[in-house]
Amino acid sequence: MSESLKQVTTHFLASRPHLMAFIYGLVRDPQMAEDVYQEVWLKLANELEKGVVIEDQGKWCRKVAKNLIVQYWREQRDAKVVADSTLLEFVEFVDHAFDESDSREDRWSDRQLALNECVEALPEKSRQLLLLKYDEGSSISTIAARMQQSTAAVVKALVRLRQALAVCVEKKLKLQELGL
Amino acid sequence: MTPLEELLIKWHDRSLSAQERLELNGWLATAEARARLRDEFGFDAKLLAAVQVEKARTHAQEQAKAFQTIEVSRHDVFEKSSAPSGLPFPGRRARRRWRIAWSMAACAVLVGAVIFFAFRSQTLARFQGEARGVTVLRGGKPMAVTREAAVRSGDQVQTSTAGGATVVFLKELTRLELQASTSVRLESTEDGKRLELRQGAITVKAAPQPKGQPMVVTTPHAEAKVLGTEFLLAVTAQSSRLEVLDGTVQFASREDGKAVVVNGGFFATVGRSVELAARSLLPGPWHSQDIGEVGLPGVARLDGNRCTAKGAGRNTCKSKDQFHFVYQPLEGDGEIIARVVALEMSRPGAKAGVVMRESLKTSAPHAFLFFRPGSGVEFEYRSKIESRTAQVGSETAPCWVRLAREGDVITAYLSPDGVSWSKAGSETIRMDPGIYVGLGVTSWDNSALATSVFDNVSALTAARPNPQPNDGPSRTP
């Protein structure tokens, strides 16, 4: 592996959380998100092979990912997003939002580990809700039917759960800082 | 106005109304809301990873529970077998005799239980199944090794030149496979488990260890610190070689203290005039990677034309695939041949076989001729959206499989010996000229890996009508 390819690979892997957050946030399908991520890497590797110099790798990757995401949404038969200017506007907003931050998140792995521990400590019902939503990718209406609740109640439960997890992560990081 | 978090959850759910979508875009006109959105998206990606970790952890815990249940049921058997069986008691005398007998039996059970637990507490692990040519040295004295014999802390286990054994640790899923002519000492201390490999080779499948108590494996030259992984460590007079199949191991030289972190799919060697560095287990032009969201990362190792591949993934049918792919690029016509030697699986749906694929995308057009234990060989292909599968044979492993591409036609062949081949199916699948060919394995389970062993692996750059297994100028094993 050449030195430049090594550097690019290291940077690409280091900024995976940031890029995956962008992709998964817009695609909302874990498999498709992984697919887009891989495709971005292939395109990046191709460019490097051709000797193209990429100045801002993070921005370049996001641009490629954005095109792939828009293409994905266009291919969705029932997504009602073909030529949907509101969706395109939303994608631009998200891109803008990611443009405004550094691709290397502070204490990313600590945050991930803390979140893993917080999820592990959740009551069974809450973990079940997360599994249905994130692992199985079930829709809110499916979850509501499975849990015998209204869709509004499921949305509220998810909002509360995410807030509780965010607080839990911050607490754990604080304790780590204090060496406890 | 609907709160931003709620709008984002609905966006995630694809259930935003037109009004709510406008509302969401309105929110995002401010930099503050955009920063929140970025955090929310980042949190979502982390939450997805955390949920997948949690799922794998729960699965491992269930397996561990099953192991403990067996231990508990053994105690039950012990107690029951010591108790007298219920019989009718005709007279008062007889009843008294039985009462005395009951009391004595209860005392015997109690004493037995105390002895059992006292000895058991020293037991660190047990042999699993037949222990061939094995000697256990306890305090320097050789012990008689029976089936499922206990191994205590401080024991030294040795295998003969034709021997081999599997040792399973109690209350966890850590397994140790000793190859022939191996000598290893096992010890459990407050700091964790210690394995001292004096000669030979061991494969360690280590369950996650308690925090601050990593399992440490030492050789005369090196030290490997394990947190939960699967690896092979072999020692010779000159060097120690570590091959990591899954997880991460820190491998350090005992001479100069230099260390390297070896990830799954890589190996490193400590020895004189050998540079300590992590190197890939796959020689060029082979590569390997997971296709789709597989849950657990797969890994592959290629030794000559023999390949061991581990892969997770729910399936490779319908519109999306999830499997581990060991591949090399192919331009134009060509073929891939392998013999599936074995497939160790956690679920009956596991598959292993040869693959031709347009790209590394999860829904790429592909052809997969695979062996599935219990059901034989199947030919699966996807030309556009959904894949189709046809049963083409009822072979058991080991079995020979071959895919050949000529233009847009991909043909599947089976063979009993790798010499005479019979056509098992043929499909027209439009792909780019440049495709990927190789081996695929999937476990049908996102929280477990299936292990497949292939040999006689060869990829040819131009298809021939009836290939021989071990020749060909352009073959790249």
Predicted pLDDT of residue A167: 92
In chain B, count of helices (H) and strands (E)?
4, 29
Helix/strand/coil for B23: helix
Distance from CA of A54 to the nearest CA of B (A): 23
Residues of A in contact with B55 (CB under 8 A): 131, 135
For residue B24, give the chain A residue with the closest CA.
A90
Residues of B in contact with A116 (CB under 8 A): 49-50, 53-54
Q: Which of B:361-380 have CB within 8 Å of A? A: 361-363
Of B34, B46, B55, nearest to A115 by CB-CB distance is: B46
Task: Characterize B330-352 residue by residue with b for buried, 16 or more Cβ atoms within 10 angstroms of its Cβ, and e for exposed.
Answer: beebbbbbbbbbbbebbeebbbb
Write the CB contacts of A14 (distance below 8 Å, at least 6 apart in sequence): A104
Distance from CA of B34 to the nearest CA of A (A): 5
Predicted pLDDT of residue B452: 92
The mean pLDDT of A109-125, rounded to a whole number, is: 87
Question: What tens digit of pLDDT does each residue of A24-65 get?
Answer: 888 877 777 877 887 888 888 888 878 888 888 888 999 999
Q: How far apart are alpha carbons B302 and B282 in whole angstroms?
A: 5
Average pLDDT, chain A: 82
Strands in B179-238 per DSSP E: 183-189, 192-205, 215-218, 222-226, 230-235
Q: How far apart are alpha carbons B289 and B409 in whole angstroms?
A: 26
Instruction: For residue B449, give the amino acid letter.
Output: L
In this structure, is the dihedral angle defined by the CA atoms of residues A151, A153, A158 and A159, taken in order, positive or negative?
positive
CB of B20 less than 8 A from some CB of A: no
For residue B320, give the chain A residue with the closest CA.
A31
CB of B3 less than 8 A from some CB of A: yes
Q: How far apart are alpha carbons B157 and B476 in whole angstroms?
A: 41
Interface test with A, best of B22, B48, B321 (most A CBs within 10 A): B48
Please provide the distance, in angstroms rounded to a whole number, between the alpha carbons at the two ends of chain A: 42
Structure-model confidence comparison of residues A138 and B140, the more confident one: A138
Helices B18-27, A85-99: crossing angle, 10 deg rounding: 30
Predicted pLDDT of residue A77: 52
Predicted pLDDT of residue B68: 36
For residue A104, give the chain B residue with the closest CA.
B42
Write the CB contacts of B210 (distance below 8 Å, at least 6 apart in sequence): B192
- What H or E segment, with its residue span, contains residue B72? helix B31-82
Residues of A in contact with B362 (CB under 8 A): 31-32, 34-35
Complex prediction ipTM: 0.85
Can you read off the two tokens belonging to residue A112? Answer: 């991930």
In this structure, is the dihedral angle defined by the CA atoms of residues B2, B4, B5 and B8, taken in order, positive or negative?
positive
Helix/strand/coil for B44: helix
Asked if residue B440 lies in contact with residue B367, where contact means CB atoms within 8 angstroms, the answer is no
Residues of A in contact with B12 (CB under 8 A): 28
* Residues of chain B predicted below pLDDT 70: 1, 59-99, 107-122, 144, 146-147, 211, 227-228, 316-318, 345-347, 385-387, 462-477
Predicted pLDDT of residue A153: 92
For residue B21, give the chain A residue with the closest CA.
A86
Q: Is A151 exposed, middle or buried (0-12, 13-18, 19+ CB in 10 A)?
A: middle
Predicted pLDDT of residue A157: 92
Question: What does each C-alpha distance from B474 to A75, B335, B456, B470 come to in angstroms?
Answer: 40, 11, 15, 12
Question: What tens digit of pLDDT does each residue of B300-350 get?
Answer: 888 888 999 988 887 766 678 899 999 999 989 999 999 999 988 656 778
Confidence of residue A79 (pLDDT cuts 50, 70, 90): low
Chain-centre distance for alpha carbon A143: 21
Predicted pLDDT of residue B325: 94
Confidence of residue A12 (pLDDT cuts 50, 70, 90): confident
Predicted pLDDT of residue B78: 32
- What H or E segment, with its residue span, contains residue B172? none
Q: How far apart are alpha carbons B432 and B365 in whole angstroms?
A: 10
Interface touch B46/A17, C-beta < 8 Å: yes
Can you read off the two tokens belonging to residue B45? Answer: 């990606």
Confidence of residue A86 (pLDDT cuts 50, 70, 90): low
Write the CB contacts of B16 (distance below 8 Å, at least 6 apart in sequence): B7, B10, B24
Predicted pLDDT of residue B355: 96
Interface test with A, best of B46, B293, B359 (most A CBs within 10 A): B46
Q: How far apart are alpha carbons A67 and B103 in whole angstroms?
A: 81
Q: Does residue A164 register a pLDDT over 90?
A: yes
Spatial strand order of the sheet with B409-415 comes to B299-303, B306-313, B445-460, B334-344, B399-406, B409-415, B422-428
Predicted pLDDT of residue B44: 87
- Calculated CA dihedral for residues B30, B32, B38, B40, nearest 10 degrees: -110
Phi and psi dihedrals of B255, rounded to 5? Answer: -75, -50
Q: How far apart are alpha carbons B381 and B379 in whole angstroms?
A: 7
Three-class DSSP labels, chain A: CCHHHHHHHHHHHHCHHHHHHHHHHHHCCHHHHHHHHHHHHHHHHHHHHCCCCCCCHHHHHHHHHHHHHHHHHHHCCCCCCCCCHHHHHHHHHHHHHHHCCCCCCCCHHHHHHHHHHHHHCCCHHHHHHHHHHHHCCCCHHHHHHHHCCCHHHHHHHHHHHHHHHHHHHHHHHHHHHCCC
DSSP notation for B260-324: EEEETTEEEEEETT-----EESS-TT-EEEEES--SS--EEEEETTEEEEEEEES-S-TT---EE
The mean pLDDT of A78-93, rounded to a whole number, is: 66
Q: How far apart are alpha carbons B165 and A31 in whole angstroms?
A: 40
Instruction: For residue B317, give the amino acid letter.
Output: C
Q: How far apart are alpha carbons A71 and A27 in whole angstroms?
A: 11
Predicted pLDDT of residue A136: 79
Can you read off the two tokens belonging to residue A40? Answer: 């971005």
Predicted pLDDT of residue B224: 82
Interface test with B, best of A90, A124, A163, A169 (most B CBs within 10 A): A90
Pick from B224, B228, B198, B231: which is nearest to B210 by CA?
Answer: B228
Interface touch B35/A98, C-beta < 8 Å: no
Predicted pLDDT of residue A49: 79
